[in-house]
Amino acid sequence: MKDENMFEELLQEDDSLTEKQRQILIAATEMFAEKGFAATSTNEIAKKAGVAEGTIFRHYKTKKDLLLSIVTPMMLKMLGPIILKDLNKVLNKDFEHFEDFVRAMIKNRQEFLEKNLKVVQIFLQEVPFHPELKEQFIEHIGKKVINRLIQIIEHYQSKGQIVKLPATTVIRLAAPTIMGFFATKYVLGVKWDDEEEINRMIHFLKKGLAPEE
Amino acid sequence: MKDENMFEELLQEDDSLTEKQRQILIAATEMFAEKGFAATSTNEIAKKAGVAEGTIFRHYKTKKDLLLSIVTPMMLKMLGPIILKDLNKVLNKDFEHFEDFVRAMIKNRQEFLEKNLKVVQIFLQEVPFHPELKEQFIEHIGKKVINRLIQIIEHYQSKGQIVKLPATTVIRLAAPTIMGFFATKYVLGVKWDDEEEINRMIHFLKKGLAPEE
Amino acid sequence: MKDENMFEELLQEDDSLTEKQRQILIAATEMFAEKGFAATSTNEIAKKAGVAEGTIFRHYKTKKDLLLSIVTPMMLKMLGPIILKDLNKVLNKDFEHFEDFVRAMIKNRQEFLEKNLKVVQIFLQEVPFHPELKEQFIEHIGKKVINRLIQIIEHYQSKGQIVKLPATTVIRLAAPTIMGFFATKYVLGVKWDDEEEINRMIHFLKKGLAPEE
Amino acid sequence: MKDENMFEELLQEDDSLTEKQRQILIAATEMFAEKGFAATSTNEIAKKAGVAEGTIFRHYKTKKDLLLSIVTPMMLKMLGPIILKDLNKVLNKDFEHFEDFVRAMIKNRQEFLEKNLKVVQIFLQEVPFHPELKEQFIEHIGKKVINRLIQIIEHYQSKGQIVKLPATTVIRLAAPTIMGFFATKYVLGVKWDDEEEINRMIHFLKKGLAPEE
DNA sequence: AATGAATGAGTCTTCATTCAT
DNA sequence: TATGAATGAAGACTCATTCAT
């Protein structure tokens, strides 16, 4: 509920959207997340959005267009800017310790996730069947983020705070740990004391990535 | 090619299956993995399997039945037995060091994955839309594996080889690391030197989970 | 190009038409001729005419209305007047010989056709599906032309220049010959030396309709 | 009624057609002739044929396929063979007089037309919108018939029975006369004494095409 | 057991037409 | 007068499923 409102808020801000379009996007997002793209009919979406079926196709040439209209801008306008801009906030602060950087990073990504749970879910569910999505993501998001992360890691390596493995290896070790945290929380739905679990995770990463003596 | 043959071999061994059934299962697995369950038509499956459409429904009451006939036995007959039995091989060996246990575990799971890539892919893709799958998995596989793992972890904790966090927390920290390794390799398709990357990962886990001083 | 301009010119002269209406009529004529009435959408017409879809319906209550607005006035205002008035020019000249009358007639009809190719095409294509068109044509055009032709033919019969068959039979024999000439030229697109082919045709008609000895 | 039965008879003879297919073809032919291809819905056809809409698409991949399945075989299997084989009967008899040949020709074509009125109507109505039809016709029917006719005409020219114009010109003069006869009778629906009207037409052709002195 | 023709509900999409602006 | 968003009925076509052979 809280999440949806946040998602809807973001739609609200976009003045280029008519009210009906907003309804369509909200309804489609809801249903795609719940039943999957292929198993959701435009008829259902129309009903849920309270518009005529034809109205959907006035705004989105095809059903797939509708999917991309949900996922692409989220990637470009939200994921993109947020990741890059917000990330910069984190990255540029030049936290004294790697540990602090990781903590800020986790918090930042968690906020993004909570605002975009459903769209992220749709993206993850549909990406195997729509190669364009994968390519778009890698091209527009992936590469930039990776490059930025590499800089950061090398920064902390030069400060002697983390082990001198290749930066990509460091990412491969650390990223799943953080993503596993989110997956456990949001996908498996495990309830825990966030604060404590994050502390343990950071401690684990710090030790695991500590420089060799 | 190698993988498919391995999958087909497993089907071959099952004497309760007619030749046509085997063809259907192979075709369906292929298509479900490629296009997703909802986007695959029984007509396509029949054509690819070289049988009449009616034949599918003689063996599987509904299309969903066919999905479950692919995924459930894989879980029960393959995932289940293999995980538990094979895992026992690993777990019971009572490896001197936690590190050796982890290494054996990784190898074991990698073999399983390579034999069942497509079915695992189908499972992961469809699980969000078919709650029974999730429940079945948790009930029949998840719990048992978790319980077994908890024993093991506590065993190594009592030997003073790993940190004395709650066992579930240890799993939450270690599992994503290993799964991240597989995801990077099999989903993202990154090429690397397996041997070396595994060594680094194990080293990371060992350090990250080392007992506190 | 030349033809269209001629057609557009005729629309231009009609002061009762707004610019938008003209555009609509031109676009509709083009598309109806090319794809047929039923297979042309009002949306396409609007786009081609550069107007909003609603604008079409402000001027023409229904799509069929638009068809009739193209075909009927062409019949009444163009076919009608032109046929009758222009025809009179031919008929009244009281050509010395039947042969000269036929030649003038062919030339006159050819000019008309070239100015109205598309509308004639639409008329011929749609007349089977819209009985009103057929009736309108017979009522307003057909009868008058036939009656006039009968007078002419009887005139030349009385001068002993053509065979004394019933006038309608003479029309039935001569008309298809002339129409066949146009069809071969404009429908089949056969290229030939007009002058010579017309001479042969007239010679054929003259001989074929010559009085019996 | 008589015509339809004759058309249905011909369908009956084709053993490769199921009963349902026959019904579909009969219903589609009826409706296409009446309302035109574009204005006829597959739903209507299904209802009229007494089958489910899906059944149409089991036999004919698209609606256009259905059109071609009506028109093409009529052209190839009926028009083709009949024209060529039957025509040969006429052409090879080596009628003493050109006049007799024309008379036989008219009779032969009239029989064909009466058996295939509706399909011919559909063909003529749709040919402007489906260029393949035109090409198919020219390729498979047109050229062969024209070539054969040229032989015949040159035969009678060498016997001194008809004027020594280019054979194609003779065809261009004679064909519309005969087709005009059919059009007047079957399209305009004029009632007359066939026998007498045919005699007049033949006399007209004979005189019109008589050799120059 | 296997077939494949038949089904009719359902799919995405287009259409002619309306109406508030 | 002109617009173009909105409509919902209808369009072509697909689907999972059934059943007589």
Tens-digit pLDDT profile for residues A73-118: 878 755 554 455 666 665 666 678 899 989 988 988 888 888 889 9
Closest nucleotide to residue B55 (Cα to C1')? E2
Residue of chain D nearest C165, judged by CA positions: D200
Give me the phi and psi of A19, to 5 degrees please.
Answer: -60, -45
pLDDT, one tens digit per residue, over A150-199 is: 988 998 999 999 999 999 999 999 999 999 999 999 999 999 999 999 99
Cβ pair C103, C202 in contact under 8 A: yes
- In angstroms, rounded to a whole number, what is the distance separating the alpha carbons of residues D59 and D17? 10
Q: Specify whether the CB–CB gap between D145 and C142 falls below 8 A.
A: no
- Mean pLDDT of all residues in D104-111: 86
Q: How far is CA C183 from CA A127, A177, C117, in A?
A: 58, 80, 11
Which of B183, B184, B208 is nearest residue A204 as measured by Cβ atoms? B208
The mean pLDDT of chain A is 87
Count of CB atoms within 10 A of residue A96's CB?
Answer: 10
Q: Using alpha carbons, list the distances in angstroms from residue A162 to A92, B155, B206, C159, D103.
A: 18, 30, 16, 118, 104
Closest CB from B38, B128, B176 relative to A38:
B38
**Separation between Cα atoms, residue D90 and residue D93, nearest integer Å:** 6
pLDDT at D205: 97
How far is it, in rounded angstroms, from Cα D2 to Cα B99? 92
Instruction: From the CA of B130 to the C1' of E9: give the distance in Å.
Output: 23
Closest residue to B210, CB basis, from A35, A128, A207: A207
For C55-78, give the DSSP string: HHHHH-SSHHHHHHHHHHHIIIII
**Dist CA A164 CA A211 (whole Å):** 7
Cβ-Cβ contacts under 8 Å, B205 against chain A: 208
Mean of pLDDT values over D190-199: 94
Q: What is the mean pLDDT of residues C171-196?
A: 95
C132-137 long-range contacts, Cβ below 8 Å, gap at least 24? C132/C68, C133/C68, C133/C71, C136/C72, C136/C75, C137/C75
Q: Say if residues B43 and B53 touch (Cβ distance below 8 Å).
A: yes
Q: Are B93 and B104 in contact (CB under 8 A)?
A: yes
Q: Please, which residues have CB within 8 angstroms of residue C173's CB and are 6 or more apart in sequence?
A: C165, C208, C209, D177, D180, D200, D201, D204
Q: Do B and A count as touching (3 or more CB pairs closer than 8 A)?
A: yes
Tell which residue, D61, D112, D51, D57, has the closest CA to residue D87: D112
Q: Which of A67, A180, A182 is nearest to A117 (CA)?
A: A182
Query: How far from the centroid of its chain's Cα atoms is residue C46's Cα?
Result: 27
What pLDDT is recorded for position D3? 47
Evaluated on CA atoms C185, C191, C195, C198, the torsion sign reads negative
Q: How far is the CA of D202 from the C1' of F11 (A)?
A: 50
CB A40 within 8 A of CB A69: no
pLDDT digits (tens, 9 = 90+) for B88-107: 665 666 678 899 989 988 98
pLDDT higher at D80 or B130: B130
C-beta of residue A121 within 8 angstroms of C-beta of residue A10 = no
Nearest CA in chain D to C34: D129
The reply to whether residue B36 touches residue A129, judged by beta carbons under 8 angstroms, is yes
pLDDT above 90 as % of chain B: 61
pTM score: 0.88
Mutation pick from D177, D178, D195, D206 vs chain C, by most beta carbons of C within 10 Å, is D177
Q: Which of B97-106, C90-99, D56-65 has the highest mean pLDDT?
A: D56-65
pLDDT of B1 > 60? The answer is no
Query: What's the gap between Cα D37 and its chain centre?
Result: 19
Closest nucleotide over all strands to A19 (CA to C1'): F5
| B84 has a pLDDT exceeding 80 | no
Whose C1' is closest to the CA of A58: which nucleotide? Answer: F5
Closest alpha carbon within chain C to D171: C180
Task: Retrieve residue A64's tokens.
Answer: 């797939």
Residues contacting A128, CB < 8 A, separation 6+: B36, B121, B125
Q: Nucleotide E10: nearest residue by CA–C1'?
A: A41
Q: What is the 3-state secondary structure (H, E, C) of D57-98?
A: HHHCCCHHHHHHHHHHHHHHHHHHHHHHHHHHHHHHCCCCCH
CB contact under 8 A, C207 and D205: no
